[in-house]
Copies of this chain bind each other. A is one copy, B any other.
Amino acid sequence: MRAAVLHAPGDVRVEEIADPKITAPTDAVIRLSAACVCGSDLWPYRGIEPVEGPMPMGHEYVGIVEEVGSEVTNVKPGQFVVGSFVASCGTCEICRSGYPSSCVNRVFMAQVGTQSERALIPHADGTLVPLPGTPDADLVPDLLAASDVLGTGWFGAVAAEAGPGKTVAVVGDGAVGLLAVLAAKQLGAERIIAMSRHEPRQKLAREFGATDIVTERGDDGVAKIEELTGGLGAHSVVEAVGTQESMEQAIRSTRPGGHVGFVGVNHDVTLSGEELFFSQVHLIGGPAPVRRFLPELIDLIWQRRINPGKVFDLTVPLGEAAQAYRAMDERRAIKAMLTV
């Protein structure tokens, strides 16, 4: 089958690799309906994460089940399914407590690769959620977003305790940040401040429910949030970048007793214990437990109540994946979809 493979920073090639095969009785193989490129794929693409030999890329997926292992009972061939970017068993104590992305048996799908025609899904019963039927083609981007960026933005908003009466600030205007705005809106937040300096992203943020846009960053951004919140800071802040500056901006934009949900994969970030102590904010983050939210998200999409697929502003065939990576790297695209 064809798959996008990263050979070295900046060098993504679509080439023939072996078809996935079921090896464990809990595996499934799906045929992808569409694939996409994630902001976190850019870390190795930019060489910020090491690239050790050719690596199949991608971790988001929707598609049709082709084959299942002998112990799989929740999904069957022919069903259209969505799953999280982390495969999880669904039965361990951590899964059952609502944190499937930290499942004791987890497999990061980035280690498997899903920018391809087919994909192996470990722990199919715990991981995949079948749809009520075959979706209309225009719903596929929305469902694909649920696999990671929507689920991650949603977790950010839930972790930040966005809800009625709350002022929510979102640091980061990538797909995850924008979908955290959508999530905050769905969760009933009163005021949603998107921090963005890019006009097309500001526009989408407003469409998703942002009530205010702050273009300033760093200390100036923090000062602006304080100005908008009577000097106190936001109740809820979603961090969706993962850098030193964005983490500090998020923590400092939050009022004492408020909540930070941080979902940007942290890279070279060190936080001061003293600052965390005296800022007295709640902090929770990490790889989003997307599987927890999938049934609800699929239902919202199926009912056409949300349009998360709007974050895809570039669509190219799988064969031109390199072009998709370049566009995202150069911030010409928010998020690129690959037709398979």
Least Cβ distance of A272 to chain B in Å? 6
Given contacts A257-B289, A262-B276, A269-B272, 14 further A-B contacts (CB under 8 A): A93-B255, A94-B255, A94-B256, A102-B257, A256-B286, A266-B273, A267-B274, A268-B273, A269-B273, A276-B286, A278-B286, A279-B286, A281-B284, A283-B284
State in angstroms the CA–CA spacing of A50 and B238 once bound together.
36
Which parts of A230-282 form the interface with B (CB within 8 Å)? 230-232, 242, 244, 247, 255-257, 262, 265-274, 276-282
State in angstroms the CA–CA spacing of A98 and B235 once bound together.
13
Least Cβ distance of A50 to chain B in Å? 14
A97 at the interface (CB under 8 A from B): yes
A208 at the interface (CB under 8 A from B): no
Q: Return the 3 tightest CB-CB contacts between A and B, nearest first.
A: A269-B273, A102-B256, A266-B273
Overall SS of chain A's interface: mixed
Interface size on A, residues (CB 8 A): 41
A101 at the interface (CB under 8 A from B): yes
Q: A94-B257, A280-B287 are in contact. Are A104 and B273 (CB under 8 A)?
A: no
Using Cβ atoms and an 8 Å threshold, which residues of chain B touch A101?
280
A99 at the interface (CB under 8 A from B): yes
A90 at the interface (CB under 8 A from B): no
A285 at the interface (CB under 8 A from B): yes
State in angstroms the CA–CA spacing of A256 and B287 once bound together.
11
Taking a contact as CB atoms under 8 Å apart, the answer to whether B232 and A280 are in contact is: no
State in angstroms the CA–CA spacing of A285 and B280 once bound together.
6
State in angstroms the CA–CA spacing of A292 and B270 once bound together.
31
Which parts of A206-244 form the interface with B (CB within 8 Å)? 230-232, 242, 244
State in angstroms the CA–CA spacing of A274 and B278 once bound together.
21
State in angstroms the CA–CA spacing of A280 and B94 once bound together.
11
Chain B residue nearest to A286 (CB atoms) is: B280
Least Cβ distance of A244 to chain B in Å? 8
Using Cβ atoms and an 8 Å threshold, which residues of chain B touch A269?
272-274
Using Cβ atoms and an 8 Å threshold, which residues of chain B touch A230?
93
Using Cβ atoms and an 8 Å threshold, which residues of chain B touch A277?
242, 262, 265-266, 285-287
Chain B residue nearest to A229 (CB atoms) is: B93
